[in-house]
Amino acid sequence: MEKFEKFTGIVAPMDRANIDTDAIIPKQYLKSIKRSGFGPNLFDDWRYLDPGAPGIDDRDRRVNPEFVLNVTPYDQGQILLARENFGCGSSREHAVWALTDFGFKVVIAPSFADIFYNNSFKNGLLPIVLDADIVDQLFKEVQVEQDYQLSIDLDQQVVTNADGVQMYFEIDDFRKYCLLNGLDDIGLTLQHADEIKLFEQQYYQNSPWLQ
């Protein structure tokens, strides 16, 4: 997992509440567990006018010209702005994979579904909870300035707009540490590789019949 570093990115507004994981990545795309290749099918039912399925070349499908991620510059968005209860529905981790594969590093919303929120940290996606009033103001600012950008500083736990207005957010210290250091569950385990190897050696020395 890549380290999360502070950056400035384009904000893609998705002015909907209760966006569920089936909308983020429909069920027909859940057969693969590669964690990559899901970006073209992010928000598939909203993004295309033709039905999709695994194996179909998405470049041959008609795109919905009114969908936000099909509009420049939002098709290059790195920060997704949404309403409350983002990521509700089923617990599919593929939803996070699709967002990161598209290029999103951050999702900002007033609230998230618990399982999606937890899955995000495990896959290098930062879910930022801001008050509904602040999120509403951000939507208004995006409408005024199409090429709207925000700066994210995870270490300082702050979101900053182009005018220098700072919006602070809360994050668990352990999750923050993992993101800053690019550590998923496997990476955390490998930090103790020498200790694990030593334990195995001692264990088999004491129990040679298990070898």
Is residue 94 pLDDT above 90, yes or no?
A: yes
Instruction: Tell whether pTM > 0.75.
Output: yes
- pLDDT confidence bin for 204, thresholds 50/70/90: low
User: What amino acid is encoded at 85 in this protein?
Assistant: N
Contacts of 99 (CB under 8 A, 6+ apart): 24, 42, 80, 107, 125
Torsional sign, CA 71, 72, 75, 79: negative
Task: Give the least confident one: 50-59, 82-91, 149-158, 172-181.
Answer: 50-59
What's domain 7-182's architecture?
Alpha-Beta Barrel (3.20)
Mean pLDDT score of the chain: 91
Q: In angstroms, rounded to a whole number, what is the distance separating the alpha carbons of residues 155 and 126? A: 12
